[in-house]
Structure 1
C-alpha cells in the first residue's frame, strides 16, 4: 500500500525538464499505477479481437464490438464530463476504475465457464464504453491535479510515455498469459490492474491552494473538503456553451478534425504505400511502424518540455507534419520514407501534447470535465468519419495521392484558418483626449492565442 504522497516538491519556476512532473511524489505513484493499468488494458485488447472471432467467426462482429464500445463516448460524453465536474475527483476516478475492474472480472468468469455469447459480449462492451465516459476525463484531470499548471505538459508527456511502455508490456505479457493460463486470465489480469489503480488513488494528495495566485487554487472539485458554491452552473449545456464560445477550443476541434480525416491513419495509408508502390512486405511496414512509434515517444519527451503551449503552436506543428506527410507520399524508396516518417511522428506527437495541455488547463477548473466530455464526443465523430473518408480518397487517388492530397489539405486549411483569425482580430484604435495624446488598444481575440 503506497504511503501518503505528502506535500509536492515543485520543480524550479523556470524548469523545462520533461521529467519535472515526477518531482511530485503523487505523480510518481500515479505513473506507476497508469503503467500497471495500461499493461492490463493492452493484455485484454490483444486477445479481445481473437475472442470475438472465436465466438462469432466474423471479422465484422469484431469491428462492431469496438463500435459498440465507442458509441457511449459519442452519445454520453457530455453527461460523463458533467459527472466529473459535479462529483469529487478522487472518488469518481476510484469508483470508475473499480467498476471497470468488475466488468473485466465478469468477462473473465464468463470466458472461463464458456458462457460468453455475442449478446453478452456486446452488452459488456457497451457498459465498458459507458463507464469510460466518466473514467477518461476523471483520470486525465486527476493526474493534472497532482502538479502545478506549468508542469501539466510534463505530466501529459510522461503519461504518453507510460502509455507506450504499458502497451509494449501488455502485448508481450498477453501472449505468455494466454499460452500458459488461457484467455480468461488476460481479462482477470486487467481487472487486477484496475483495482490496483483504485487502491492507489485514495493516497494521492492533490496540490494545495496557491496563495500567491488566487486564480489557481484547488477548486471545490479538487478539494473535496471545500463546499461548492450554490451559484455554480453544473449543467451539460453550460459546458457545451463554453466550448462553443471559446475560439481557441473551437480551433483545436477544427485542427483535430481535419487531421483525423486527411491524415494520421498511417496504419492504412502507409501500409498501402509500402506494400503497393514501394513493393515492400509486411516486414517492411513493421519497420515503418516501429519508426513511427519511436518518433511518437521522442515527441512525447519533447512535448513534456513545454510550459504554456498555444493553439498557434499546435496548428504550426500539425501543418508541418502534414507537409511531411505530403512529401512522404512521394517517397521513391523505403529508405527515404523512413527518413521522413521519423520527424513526421515527432512533430505530431508534440502537437498532440500541446493540444491536450490546452484542453485540460484552458477552461475554468469547474468546467474541465464537461469540456473534456465535449472533446470526447467530437473526437469520436472524427474517429468514426476519418477512416471511411480516407478510404474513399485512396480509392480515387491511390496511396500516394491520398498522402499528398491529405497533407496539402491539412496544411492549407490550417493556414487559411490562421489568416482568417488574423483578419478578424480587432485593430488598435487611436484615441486622442483633448490636450493629452493617449493610445488605447482593443484586446485581440485571435484563435491562434
Structure 2
C-alpha cells in the first residue's frame, strides 16, 4: 500500500471495526434468544475461520516494504530513545494518554449516567452503547473523506469532543445525552485515525514498528488507569460532575498539545528525527 493511502486505510479499518460492532451486537442478541448462549459461542468461534482465511489471502507482494534498522538502531532501547528525542511523538502520546484515560472510558461513564442521573437502567445503557457504535461508524466515514489528517484536525477533534464531554455531564435526559454520545463517538474515531497516521508519518521508517508498539502500550495503560479513576470520580463527585471535570481537563491538555505541536511540528510525511 502506498504511504499516501495510509490515512484512508486506517479510516476504513475503523469503519469496518465499528460497523462490525453494530451488526455483531444486534446479531448476537438475535442468536442468543433463538439458539442460546452456548451455540452463540460456537458460532463466534467458527467465524474466526474467516479471519484466518483473510490473512492467508493477503497478497504479500503488494505490501509496502519498510526500511530495516541497522544494528546500532535495533532493539527496544533504540526505539524508546527515538521516541524520547521526537518531541512530536511525545506530545501525541501524552495527548493520547489523557484523551483515552479521561475522555474515552465511556463504558464506565455511560453506565454511571444510565443508572444514576438519567435513570435509564440497563436498557438505557444498551441504547447508549448502540448509539456510540453508530457514531463510531459515522466517524469512520468522516475520517475517510478528509483529504489531510494533520495536527490541526487532531486538535480540532480533540477540542470538540472534550467540550461535548463536559456538556454531556449537564444533560438531564437520555435523548440529549445520546445525541452528544453520537457526536463524541464520531470524534473519537477521527482522533484515533489521525493519531494512528501521525505516529507513523512522524517517526523514522525503520522505527515505525517500535513506535506503534509504544502507541499500543500507551493506549492500554490509559484504559487501565482511566477506568478506575473515572469510577472513583463518578462515585465521589457524581457521574455528571465527573464528566464535566474530565472534559475540562482533556480540553486544557488539548490546548497545551496544540501549543507544543505548533513549536515542534514535523512536516507531513517526514521520516527524519525530530
Do residues 322 (structure 1) and 179 (structure 2) align? no
8 Å contact from structure 1 (residues 158, 304) kept in 2:
yes
Do the aligned residues in 2 keep the contact of 1:292 with 1:342 (CA within 8 Å)?
yes
Q: Distance in 2 between matches of 1:266 and 1:168?
A: 16
How far apart in 1 are the matches of 2:213 and 2:185? 27
Between the aligned partners of 1:334 and 1:170, the Cα distance in structure 2 is: 24
TM-score (norm: length of structure 1): 0.53
- Report matched runs for 1:189-204 at 5 Å: 189-201=46-58, 203-204=59-60
Match for residue 240 of structure 1 among 73, 80, 102:
80
State the Cα distance separating 1:372 from its structure 2 match: 0.8
- Name which of 4, 15, 18 aligns with 1:161: 15
SS in 2 for 1:304: helix
| Dislocated runs of 4+, deviation >6 Å | none
- Residues 353-432 of structure 1 aligned to structure 2 (within 5 Å): 353-419=193-259, 425=263
Structure 1 Cα separation of the partners of residues 38 and 21 of structure 2: 20
3-state DSSP of counterpart to 1:409: helix
Structure 2 residue runs of 5 or longer lacking an equivalent are: 269-274
TM-score, normalised by the number of residues in structure 2: 0.84
Determine whether 1:206 maps to 2:62. Answer: yes
What is the rounded CA distance, in whole Å, between the counterparts of 1:231 and 1:180 in structure 2? 52
Partner of 1:152: 6
In structure 2, distance between residues paired with 1:411 and 1:165:
28
Paired position in structure 2 for 1:135 = none
Residue 117 of structure 1 is matched in structure 2 by none
* 1:266 shift after superposition: 1.4
Larger Rg: 1
Q: Give the Å deviation of 1:341.
A: 2.0
Deviations 1:39-83 (A, max 9, x none): xxxxxxxxxxxxxxxxxxxxxxxxxxxxxxxxxxxxxxxxxxxxx
Q: Which deviations, in whole Å up to 9, do the C-alpha atoms of 1:277-322 show, x marking residues without a partner?
A: 1222322232222222111111111111234422342122112101
Of 327, 337, 341, the match for 2:181: 341
Bigger drift between 376-385 and 180-189 goes to: 180-189
The structure with higher relative contact order (CA 8 Å, sep 6+) is 2
CA distance in 2, matches of 1:330, 1:267: 18
In structure 2, the partner of 1:29 is none
Q: How does 1:196-275 map to 2 (within 5 A)?
A: 196-201=53-58, 203-206=59-62, 218-219=64-65, 233-275=73-115
In structure 1, distance between residues paired with 2:120 and 2:77: 51
> Shift in Å at residue 378 of structure 1?
1.7
Q: Once the 2 structures are TM-superposed, how far is the Cα of residue 183 of structure 1 from its aligned partner? A: 6.6
Q: 1:178–1:185: 8 Å Cα contact kept in structure 2?
A: no
